[in-house]
Structure 1
Amino acid sequence: MTTTTALRLEPITPKNLRAALGVRVRPDQEFAVDPVVRPLAEAYVRPDSAWPRLIMDGDRAVGFLTAFLDIDWHEDGGSVIRSGLRRLVIAAEEQGKGYGRFAVESVAQELRRRGTRGFHVCWHPGDHGPEDFCLNLGFRGTGEIAEGETVGVLDLD
């Protein structure tokens, strides 16, 4: 990984769209994350609550993420407003270099800036999934399951 000054998140633009669409995980991880085109489409139809970003290291695209901002999360018949990370895709050849940690810390910083106290994420449990990654970053399970995924939260206080 390059120095943190070269790491940054960029909004998706016509100029970097092709790079964003080219970010792919390892084949054994495809069960746990949709191709980038799907979260980009979701961001397009939900521009008020989606925050898509390309993870850049210098001039190289090394990952993609989409955060969700202040969505109405239905829980036990009621609802609560939540924000967090919807998708994180680190390119297969770039994994294990600290880019995922940088991405999560960057989203946490943005959520804090917006006054958010809880950073939510969902993950597929099991081998080759992101559960250990999330737990090692301090997320804890909430006991909820959403669409077959474990819901986790990181306190931002």
Structure 2
Amino acid sequence: MTELRLEELSAATIVAVNSMSLKPGQEQFIAPVSYGTAATVMNPRTSWQRVVLDRNEVVGFISANFDPEEPHERFRSVLWRINVDADDQGRGVGRFAVEALVEEARARGMDHVNVIYEAGEAGPDAFFTRVGFRPVGETEYGETIAEIRV
């Protein structure tokens, strides 16, 4: 890891985000990035989407929503997706992105961030635990709801 920084998702970086590779087995836990980018168009006030760059190379993507008026508490401050290119996993890119997310949540007056994910082999459970998320419940579909306090 050399010099990580965040930048807003843009037309200049979205192609690189869509081209990021995954490790075998991870694809079942990830919806296409284009699903998440629609949120910015639908509600730019609450949507937060950033790319992680190492120098000038896109190595990660993180998307969240911060909406204190959202009727469902679990969606008021929520991490929707985090992707790190397969070749860059294990170098601290994901941790860097989550730390930036926590700072953004704090700046917006939130006291926690939720994440909802499907558990399973090659799934994101271990990563979320390592960066500080703790399970707090389950959705009606059996997905894990975890939170990190900010």
TM-score (norm 2): 0.89
RMSD (CA atoms): 1.8
Name the CA distance, whole Å, in 2 between partners of 1:40 and 1:81: 17
| C-alpha displacement of 1:148 | 3.8
What are the superposed Cα offsets for residues 7-48 of structure 1, whole Å, 9 maximum, x if unpaired?
111112222222222123224101111121211123222322
Name the CA distance, whole Å, in 2 between partners of 1:55 and 1:134: 18
1:56 aligns with 2:62: no
Larger % of strand: which?
Answer: 1
Q: Which residue in 2 is equivalent to 1:130?
A: 124
- What amino acid is aligned across from residue 80 of structure 2 in structure 1? R
Unaligned runs of 5+ in 2: none
- What amino acid is aligned across from residue 59 of structure 2 in structure 1? V
Between 140-149 and 114-123, report the one with greater CA deviation: 140-149
Name the CA distance, whole Å, in 2 between partners of 1:36 and 1:81: 19
CA contact (8 A) 2:26 2:123 kept: yes
Between 143-152 and 131-140, report the one with greater CA deviation: 143-152
Percent sequence identity over aligned pairs: 36
Match of 1:19 among 16, 28, 32: 16
Name the CA distance, whole Å, in 2 between partners of 1:24 and 1:45: 27
- What amino acid is aligned across from residue 84 of structure 1 in structure 2? V
Following TM superposition, where does structure 1 have runs of at least 4 consecutive aligned residues deviating by more than 3 angstroms? none
| C-alpha displacement of 1:51 | 0.8
Larger % of helix: which?
Answer: 2
Tell me the secondary structure at the aligned position of residue 24 of structure 1: coil
CA contact (8 A) 1:20 1:63 kept: yes
Q: Note closer, same or farther for the CA distance 1:117–1:31 as it changes in structure 2 (3 Å cut).
A: same
Name the CA distance, whole Å, in 1 between partners of 2:96 and 2:24: 23
TM-score (norm 1): 0.86
CA contact (8 A) 2:65 2:75 kept: no
Q: Note closer, same or farther for the CA distance 1:73–1:148 as it changes in structure 2 (3 Å cut).
A: farther
Unaligned runs of 5+ in 1: none
CA contact (8 A) 2:136 2:145 kept: yes
| C-alpha displacement of 1:80 | 6.7
